[in-house]
Chains A and B, each alone.
Chain A
């Protein structure tokens, strides 16, 4: 069974603080993705990665950085968190390209106060 694990599952952060969301996959997939989900917007792509050492900007990268230190791990970093970044964040992994299934984690609910 494909497994994508996110941590933490819930996080409250203060405005201006640094937040790191972590994601681990045991699928040996090349591609990993970070999405945020907000009511009325569906899932929006923040950053993605083709493999260890690579990160690419998605559709809404402003205010976010990403890091892929290994095949298994992909982090999303908010250097200076803002209330507008309050959302549910999903990590996902997939093999090769958008022509195959993508497996999602359970999500991280981030509240920036």
Chain B
């Protein structure tokens, strides 16, 4: 079963619009991370949000965390064509928190 799961397979917006990707998880976490993967490349971290934080920001990106509902969201404002990518949420797992488990990802496309 997925330990971190995005709630949409694919999203599409026009350049300049805003978008939100949601993620849910099933057990307690130390931190939740958001990654972006562009075509032909490995994932790269966008934002890390720890369990004692409610939100975190990185430029046009803002992540929220709600530990009571075990969910997180990643919002992108003023989207650009170069934001087109697959977005993953990932969470720590395991007795030592050493495993990093990814969701299945959301394909996000920005149209001109």
Residues of A whose CB lies within 8 Å of any CB of B are 4, 31, 33, 35, 40-45, 48, 50, 56, 58-59, 90, 92, 94, 96-102, 104-107
Q: A42-B104, A42-B105, A43-B88 are in contact. Are A104 and B98 (CB under 8 A)?
A: no
The 8 closest A-B pairs by CB, nearest first: A98-B92, A104-B42, A42-B104, A43-B102, A97-B97, A99-B31, A101-B45, A98-B100
Residues of B whose CB lies within 8 Å of any CB of A are 30-31, 33, 40-45, 48, 50, 88, 90-94, 96-105
Number of A-B contacts (CB under 8 A): 73
CA distance A48 to B44 in the complex (A): 18
How many Å from the CB of A17 to the closest CB on chain B? 26
Q: A40-B104, A41-B104, A42-B105 are in contact. Are A98 and B45 (CB under 8 A)?
A: no
CA distance A94 to B41 in the complex (A): 18
CA distance A59 to B93 in the complex (A): 11
